[in-house]
Amino acid sequence: MPYSEQVNIDSPTRSSLNRRRFLQASLGLSTALALPASFAASKPADRILSLHNLHTGERVKATYWAEGQYQASELATLNHILRDHRTDEVVDMDIRLINLLTLLHEQVDGKQDFNIISGYRSPMTNAKLRQQSSGVAKKSFHMQAKAVDIALPGRDLKQLNKAALALQVGGVGYYPKSGFIHVDTGPVRHWG
Protein backbone atom coordinates (compact mmCIF):
# COMPACT_ATOMS: atom_id res chain seq x y z
CA MET A 1 0.00 0.00 0.00
CA PRO A 2 1.28 3.49 -0.83
CA TYR A 3 0.94 5.28 2.52
CA SER A 4 3.70 5.65 5.08
CA GLU A 5 1.68 6.84 8.04
CA GLN A 6 -1.36 5.20 9.45
CA VAL A 7 -4.13 7.08 7.75
CA ASN A 8 -6.27 8.81 10.29
CA ILE A 9 -9.82 8.89 9.11
CA ASP A 10 -10.59 11.08 12.13
CA SER A 11 -8.42 13.94 10.86
CA PRO A 12 -8.86 17.60 11.87
CA THR A 13 -10.65 20.11 9.67
CA ARG A 14 -9.11 20.86 6.28
CA SER A 15 -8.17 24.40 7.23
CA SER A 16 -6.07 23.26 10.17
CA LEU A 17 -4.29 20.44 8.40
CA ASN A 18 -0.62 20.48 7.75
CA ARG A 19 1.85 17.65 7.55
CA ARG A 20 2.97 17.82 11.19
CA ARG A 21 -0.58 17.95 12.56
CA PHE A 22 -1.64 15.16 10.26
CA LEU A 23 1.22 12.93 11.43
CA GLN A 24 0.57 13.74 15.11
CA ALA A 25 -3.14 13.09 14.79
CA SER A 26 -2.54 9.92 12.80
CA LEU A 27 -0.26 8.44 15.41
CA GLY A 28 -2.62 9.30 18.24
CA LEU A 29 -5.88 8.17 16.72
CA SER A 30 -5.03 5.35 14.32
CA THR A 31 -4.87 2.81 17.11
CA ALA A 32 -8.23 3.90 18.49
CA LEU A 33 -9.77 3.61 15.06
CA ALA A 34 -8.17 0.23 14.44
CA LEU A 35 -7.33 0.99 10.85
CA PRO A 36 -5.44 -1.77 9.14
CA ALA A 37 -1.68 -1.41 9.05
CA SER A 38 -1.91 -2.11 5.33
CA PHE A 39 -2.81 1.55 4.76
CA ALA A 40 0.87 2.24 5.36
CA ALA A 41 4.05 2.12 3.27
CA SER A 42 7.35 3.93 2.85
CA LYS A 43 6.29 7.53 2.09
CA PRO A 44 3.13 9.61 1.89
CA ALA A 45 1.58 9.21 -1.51
CA ASP A 46 -1.18 11.02 -3.28
CA ARG A 47 -4.67 9.85 -2.45
CA ILE A 48 -6.91 9.58 -5.45
CA LEU A 49 -10.58 8.71 -5.50
CA SER A 50 -12.59 7.98 -8.64
CA LEU A 51 -16.39 8.13 -8.47
CA HIS A 52 -19.28 7.74 -10.89
CA ASN A 53 -22.65 9.11 -9.77
CA LEU A 54 -25.24 6.81 -11.32
CA HIS A 55 -28.05 9.38 -10.96
CA THR A 56 -26.32 12.31 -12.64
CA GLY A 57 -23.90 10.44 -14.92
CA GLU A 58 -21.02 12.54 -13.58
CA ARG A 59 -17.57 11.03 -13.18
CA VAL A 60 -14.64 12.42 -11.24
CA LYS A 61 -11.09 11.40 -10.48
CA ALA A 62 -9.84 13.60 -7.66
CA THR A 63 -6.37 13.75 -6.12
CA TYR A 64 -7.64 15.01 -2.77
CA TRP A 65 -4.39 14.49 -0.84
CA ALA A 66 -1.11 15.62 -2.38
CA GLU A 67 2.16 17.13 -1.23
CA GLY A 68 1.37 16.19 2.36
CA GLN A 69 -1.98 17.95 2.62
CA TYR A 70 -5.63 17.86 1.65
CA GLN A 71 -6.48 19.67 -1.56
CA ALA A 72 -9.53 21.89 -0.96
CA SER A 73 -10.54 22.19 -4.62
CA GLU A 74 -10.40 18.40 -5.10
CA LEU A 75 -12.42 17.82 -1.93
CA ALA A 76 -14.98 20.32 -3.24
CA THR A 77 -15.20 18.26 -6.43
CA LEU A 78 -15.86 15.11 -4.39
CA ASN A 79 -18.45 16.96 -2.29
CA HIS A 80 -20.22 18.00 -5.47
CA ILE A 81 -20.48 14.51 -6.95
CA LEU A 82 -21.65 13.14 -3.57
CA ARG A 83 -24.32 15.84 -3.22
CA ASP A 84 -28.03 15.19 -2.75
CA HIS A 85 -28.87 14.86 -6.45
CA ARG A 86 -32.57 15.37 -5.72
CA THR A 87 -32.12 18.85 -4.19
CA ASP A 88 -28.66 19.68 -5.61
CA GLU A 89 -27.53 20.49 -2.05
CA VAL A 90 -23.76 20.20 -1.60
CA VAL A 91 -22.18 19.79 1.84
CA ASP A 92 -18.70 18.97 3.09
CA MET A 93 -18.50 15.20 3.25
CA ASP A 94 -16.78 13.66 6.25
CA ILE A 95 -13.09 13.42 5.33
CA ARG A 96 -12.98 10.11 7.22
CA LEU A 97 -15.51 8.74 4.71
CA ILE A 98 -13.39 9.90 1.77
CA ASN A 99 -10.35 8.19 3.30
CA LEU A 100 -12.39 5.07 4.03
CA LEU A 101 -13.48 4.84 0.39
CA THR A 102 -9.87 5.19 -0.75
CA LEU A 103 -8.74 2.48 1.64
CA LEU A 104 -11.57 0.16 0.58
CA HIS A 105 -10.75 0.68 -3.10
CA GLU A 106 -7.13 -0.28 -2.40
CA GLN A 107 -8.11 -3.29 -0.30
CA VAL A 108 -10.07 -4.84 -3.18
CA ASP A 109 -7.54 -3.67 -5.78
CA GLY A 110 -10.33 -1.86 -7.62
CA LYS A 111 -9.66 -0.77 -11.18
CA GLN A 112 -12.98 0.97 -11.88
CA ASP A 113 -14.67 4.02 -10.37
CA PHE A 114 -16.95 3.45 -7.39
CA ASN A 115 -20.56 3.67 -8.51
CA ILE A 116 -22.38 6.06 -6.19
CA ILE A 117 -25.95 5.09 -5.45
CA SER A 118 -26.43 7.57 -2.60
CA GLY A 119 -24.12 10.04 -0.89
CA TYR A 120 -25.34 13.02 1.11
CA ARG A 121 -29.10 13.20 1.69
CA SER A 122 -30.89 16.29 2.91
CA PRO A 123 -33.38 15.74 5.74
CA MET A 124 -36.18 16.37 3.21
CA THR A 125 -34.85 13.71 0.84
CA ASN A 126 -34.33 11.24 3.66
CA ALA A 127 -37.91 11.75 4.88
CA LYS A 128 -39.29 11.14 1.37
CA LEU A 129 -37.20 7.99 0.98
CA ARG A 130 -38.39 6.75 4.40
CA GLN A 131 -41.97 7.04 3.18
CA GLN A 132 -41.10 4.78 0.25
CA SER A 133 -38.94 2.21 2.06
CA SER A 134 -38.64 0.77 5.54
CA GLY A 135 -34.88 0.36 4.92
CA VAL A 136 -34.12 4.07 5.30
CA ALA A 137 -33.02 5.08 8.81
CA LYS A 138 -34.75 8.03 10.45
CA LYS A 139 -31.40 9.38 11.68
CA SER A 140 -29.38 8.26 8.67
CA PHE A 141 -25.67 8.99 8.56
CA HIS A 142 -26.33 10.09 4.96
CA MET A 143 -27.88 13.27 6.43
CA GLN A 144 -24.65 13.94 8.34
CA ALA A 145 -22.51 13.48 5.20
CA LYS A 146 -20.96 10.42 6.84
CA ALA A 147 -22.37 7.64 4.62
CA VAL A 148 -22.37 6.46 1.04
CA ASP A 149 -23.99 3.57 -0.83
CA ILE A 150 -21.63 2.10 -3.40
CA ALA A 151 -20.91 -0.67 -5.87
CA LEU A 152 -17.66 -1.40 -7.66
CA PRO A 153 -17.74 -2.69 -11.24
CA GLY A 154 -15.40 -5.60 -11.70
CA ARG A 155 -15.70 -6.68 -8.07
CA ASP A 156 -18.27 -9.04 -6.66
CA LEU A 157 -20.54 -7.29 -4.16
CA LYS A 158 -19.94 -10.03 -1.61
CA GLN A 159 -16.17 -9.44 -1.92
CA LEU A 160 -16.64 -5.67 -1.49
CA ASN A 161 -18.80 -6.24 1.59
CA LYS A 162 -16.26 -8.65 3.08
CA ALA A 163 -13.44 -6.12 2.55
CA ALA A 164 -15.47 -3.32 4.15
CA LEU A 165 -16.25 -5.51 7.16
CA ALA A 166 -12.58 -6.47 7.54
CA LEU A 167 -11.62 -2.80 7.87
CA GLN A 168 -13.63 -2.56 11.12
CA VAL A 169 -14.27 1.15 10.54
CA GLY A 170 -17.85 2.41 10.81
CA GLY A 171 -21.03 0.75 9.64
CA VAL A 172 -21.39 -1.68 6.76
CA GLY A 173 -24.73 -2.67 5.26
CA TYR A 174 -25.06 -5.40 2.64
CA TYR A 175 -27.87 -5.03 0.08
CA PRO A 176 -27.31 -7.79 -2.51
CA LYS A 177 -30.83 -7.55 -3.98
CA SER A 178 -30.32 -3.83 -4.62
CA GLY A 179 -26.72 -4.28 -5.77
CA PHE A 180 -24.82 -2.08 -3.31
CA ILE A 181 -23.19 -1.85 0.09
CA HIS A 182 -23.52 0.99 2.57
CA VAL A 183 -20.44 2.29 4.40
CA ASP A 184 -20.38 5.03 7.01
CA THR A 185 -18.12 6.53 9.66
CA GLY A 186 -20.46 5.92 12.57
CA PRO A 187 -19.93 3.22 15.20
CA VAL A 188 -18.60 -0.14 14.01
CA ARG A 189 -21.59 -2.36 13.18
CA HIS A 190 -23.00 -4.36 10.27
CA TRP A 191 -26.27 -5.65 8.88
CA GLY A 192 -27.72 -7.41 5.86
Q: What is the pLDDT of residues 75-101, one digit of tens each?
A: 999 999 999 999 999 999 999 999 999
Query: How far apart are alpha carbons 153 and 159 in whole angstroms?
Result: 12
The CA-atom distances, in angstroms, between 14 and each of 10, 64, 73 are: 11, 11, 11
Give the per-residue pLDDT at 135.
75
Give the per-residue pLDDT at 9.
52
Residue 58 has pLDDT above 70, yes or no: yes
Domains defined for the chain, CATH in brackets: 50-191 (3.30.1380.10)
Model pTM score: 0.79
Angle at 101 between CA 80 and CA 165, to 5 degrees: 140
* Beta strand ranges found along 97-161 (DSSP E): 114-118, 147-151
Q: Compute and round to an integer the Cα radius of gyration of the chain.
A: 16
DSSP β-bridge partners for residue 65: 47, 70
**Three-state secondary-structure class, residue 128:** helix
